[in-house]
Amino acid sequence: MRAITKGNEPACLTQHRATPNSNYGEYRGNPALRTALVAEQRGLCCYCMNAITADGQKMRIEHWQSQSGFAAQQLVYANLLGACKGGEGGSANQYHCDKLKGDQVLKWNPATPAHAIESRIRYQNNGEIRSNDPQFDSELDTVLGLNISILTNRRQGALEAVLKWWQIKKPNKAQVRSQIAKYDNGVGTLEAFSPVAVWFLKRKLAA
């Protein structure tokens, strides 16, 4: 999971919210909203970090606080995230991200700076994502389904690739910083699951 820096909301969302008795169900600006969410998330799902594109057939608009449980938040841009399809159309035991979460409560929001999401998670050698926060650690499985094999395999692959680079290169700190910049130069679309490698390299820098 990667911290998300929210940008400016689409003007059509601002306008719709200003309409008396407005709600998300009547909002017709989803194309603009999808574009904004994908751009600020650098092309990655808000939870699993798989690739997403601003296409209604290829992504979902997630409400961190659900529409049914938190009606006042349904049009608040800080509450809106871009998620992958989460296994939609497949077996229910492979559902993940928003598709599994539905109306369930999730303790931390990757787009809330005060929640410091990147300090709350870690990756294991087998590709699992875990947290030292017991409640959130459980939610990673029960609410988001982030440790199903299709996802752990991708994260494990990212970890193995960066570990191989580390072992061959035996880099100094300047080289590690340079490698981080190759994964993330601050702009544009990120490679799916690349934040896992960045997490590994940042840990090495801090050691």
- Residue 173's domain comprises 11-206
Predicted local confidence at residue 114, as pLDDT? 98
- Rounded to whole angstroms, how far apart are CA atoms 77 and 39? 14
- Rounded to whole angstroms, how far apart are CA atoms 74 and 185? 33
Task: Give residue for tokens 């990757």.
Answer: 110
CA atoms within 13 A on the CB side of 33: 25
Average pLDDT, consecutive stretches of 10 residues, N- to C-terminus, the chain (207 residues): 97 96 94 98 98 97 97 98 98 98 98 98 98 99 99 98 97 96 91 98 93
Residue 3 is assigned to a structural domain of this protein: no
Residue 19 is assigned to a structural domain of this protein: yes
Residue 1 is assigned to a structural domain of this protein: no
Predicted local confidence at residue 207, as pLDDT? 82
Domain count, the chain: 1
Residue 6 is assigned to a structural domain of this protein: no
Residue 144 is assigned to a structural domain of this protein: yes
Predicted local confidence at residue 187, as pLDDT? 85
Predicted local confidence at residue 185, as pLDDT? 85
